[in-house]
Amino acid sequence: MEIRKPAVAGTMESSDCQVSLEPGEGGIDFTLESVVAQQFGNEIRRVALETLSRLGVDSVKISIIDKGALDCTIRARVEGAVYRSLEQFKDLPWGGAIR
């Protein structure tokens, strides 16, 4: 999938994360801001990159502001941002595309 336009999913509330995507220039440009980055930064990055890979996204600028989100929340927010960037709002394959 090719990221078509900037998109955001998630909130800045506790136990959530906000994922922002923009079209990339080849490759994945990943930025993370998290109060738990020392403990869980590698895991947050792994989950986000794995989700992008399973969706077929290989050129994107992604920024995550984490407020203690679980892996399932990170996956859902990345997936939601990707679908918003594609302007796909009907018949969403939630979860199915990334299993």
pLDDT tens string 37-61: 999 999 999 999 999 999 999 999 9
41 domain residue, yes or no: yes
| Mean pLDDT on 68-83 | 95
| 28: enclosing H helix or E strand | strand 27-34
Q: Give the count of domains, the chain.
A: 1
Residue 96 belongs to some domain of the structure: no
81 part of a folded domain: yes
- For 10-39, what is the mean pLDDT? 95
Indicate if the pLDDT at residue 5 is higher than 80. Answer: yes
- Residue 24 domain-assigned? yes
Q: Is residue 19 part of a domain?
A: yes
Q: Does residue 95 lie in a domain region?
A: no
Inside any domain, residue 70: yes
For residue 14, what is the domain's CATH number? 3.30.230.10
31, 62 contact by CB (below 8 A): yes
- State the residue range of the domain holding 72: 7-89
Cβ proximity of 33 and 65 under 8 Å:
yes
